């Protein structure tokens, strides 16, 4: 494997990735959610740039939209893009989290959330994982027809239905379903032996930093859009301008 381009702290993940999302066109509040999702990914020992860069590009290149409508249909709440474009997961993720938060007190556990035509399904799981609110199964079918699922539990624990730590970056969109599950499912036969992430991963990453590889320039490029070019005038008006030590 190549050497990482940079090793970041969680604080830097929040700083750069939140602003990268703003640079890609996300309002700041949604960008904060994206920053939190990126930390959740990083805490699993995964490269958040590799996993999120395409979602930012999809939004920036107008392949995905932030425009959506949400309807309730019996037990199902459906979020779908308002037009033909695929729905940006950067919008769908926070919407799903809001649905979870709002339903927290609801005793009816049969209700579920569907996000249609979502551009990067795994990021929806990342948003739910970062929320750290109960146990949820987030599932979708990949482009080859395989059912993918992520199981999130409290205390930073989560599992994937696939065996490797590779996160598939889908080239086509998918419908994603989110449903509440019993916390005991985490130890059930169905999920036994699956790739598992825990608080231990987070502690390890705190000791080593977050390794970020080839996609880092993409994140940094979006981030840079939030910076203001320096001019002679702005330099003069900055703190401490013109000061040479005289004391």
Partner 1 sequence: MSESIKVASRGMRSPEKVMRLSRMGSSFQTRLSFMRSLTRRISREKWKFEKIRFDVDKDGFGVSVYAVHTPERTYSLITFTNAIAPEMRTDRVVAEVWDATFNLFDGVPTEADIKRLSLNTPKQEAGRFSPSELVLARANKSLRLFEHVVSCLSEGKQPDVEFLASVGYLMRTTAVYGSGKFGCADREKISKRPETRGAFQVELLTVYLFRWFTIELVEHVAKLRGGGKAVSLNPEISKYLGIGNATGLGMAPFLIKHPVLIHNWVLARETALSRVIALESHTPETLSLFSKYLQRAIQHIAEWNVEDQLQTARILKTREDMNQFSNWFADEENLKQPFLWQRVMLFAESNFSLEGQELTVSLLLEPHGELVDDLADAMHTSTVTELDPSMRLTQLNELLQKSFSWALEIDFTEPEKQRRFWYYSEEKLEPRFGDRYADPGAEQEMPLAVGRDVYLLSKKIKSISVDISVGEFVQNFPEFRHIVRRVQTVVRFPYAEIRDNIVDAEMRPIDLLRFKLAFFGASKFDPKSELWTRITMFQGAPLPDQFAAKESDEWAFPVIPVQEVG
Residues of this chain that bind partner 1 (CB under 8 A): 6-12, 27-30, 32-33, 66, 68, 70, 91, 94-95, 98-99, 101-102, 105, 206-209, 224-231, 233-235, 237-241, 243-247
Give least dist CB 222 to partner 1, A. 13
Helices (H), 104-164: 121-131
For residue 98, the cross-strand partners are none
Measured from the CB of residue 84, what is the shortest distance to partner 1 in angstroms? 20
Q: How far is the CB of 184 from partner 1 (least distance, A)?
A: 25
- The nearest distance, CB 224 to partner 1, in angstroms, is 7
From CA 164, how far away is CA 42, in angstroms rounded?
16
163 vs 232, which CB is nearer to partner 1? 232
User: Which one, of 65, 73, 2, 12, lies nearest residue 220 by Cα?
Assistant: 12
Smallest separation (angstroms) from partner 1 to the CB of 9: 3
> Using CA atoms, how far apart are residues 109 and 118, in angstroms rounded to an integer?
24
Distances (CA, A) of 198 to 43, 51, 156, 208: 9, 19, 6, 16
For 207, the token pair is: 């000791």
In this complex, which beta carbon is closest to partner 1, that of residue 62 or of residue 164?
Answer: 62
Select 163 or 245, whichever has its Cβ closest to partner 1.
245
Q: List 114's β-bridge partners, or say none.
A: 78, 177
10 versus 159: smaller Cβ distance to partner 1: 10
Q: Which is nearer to partner 1, 74 or 229 (CB)?
A: 229
Q: How far from 12 is each of 7, 17, 220, 238, CA to CA, in Å?
A: 10, 8, 11, 24
């Amino acid at each position: 494997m190549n050497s990482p381009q940079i090793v970041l702290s969680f604080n830097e993940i929040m700083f750069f990735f939140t602003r990268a999302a703003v640079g890609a066109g996300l309002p700041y509040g949604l960008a904060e959610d994206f920053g939190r999702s990126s930390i959740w990914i990083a805490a699993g020992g995964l490269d958040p740039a590799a996993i999120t860069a395409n979602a930012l590009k999809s939004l920036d290149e107008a392949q995905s939209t932030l425009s959506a409508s949400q309807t309730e249909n019996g037990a199902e709440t459906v979020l779908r893009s308002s037009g033909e474009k695929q729905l940006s997961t950067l919008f769908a993720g926070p919407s799903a989290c809001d649905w979870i938060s709002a339903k927290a007190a609801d005793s009816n556990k049969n209700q579920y959330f569907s996000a249609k035509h979502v551009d990067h399904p795994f990021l929806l799981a990342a948003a739910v994982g970062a929320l750290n609110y109960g146990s949820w199964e987030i599932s979708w079918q990949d482009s080859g027809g395989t059912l993918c699922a992520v199981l999130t539990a409290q205390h930073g624990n989560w599992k994937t239905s696939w065996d490797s730590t590779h996160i598939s970056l889908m080239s086509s969109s998918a419908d994603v379903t989110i449903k509440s599950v019993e916390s005991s499912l985490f130890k059930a036969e169905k999920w036994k032996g699956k790739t598992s992430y825990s608080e231990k991963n987070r502690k390890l990453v705190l000791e080593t930093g977050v390794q970020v590889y080839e996609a880092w320039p993409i994140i940094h490029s979006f981030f840079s859009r939030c910076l203001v070019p320096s001019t002679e005038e702005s330099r003069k008006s900055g703190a401490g301008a013109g000061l040479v030590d005289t004391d």
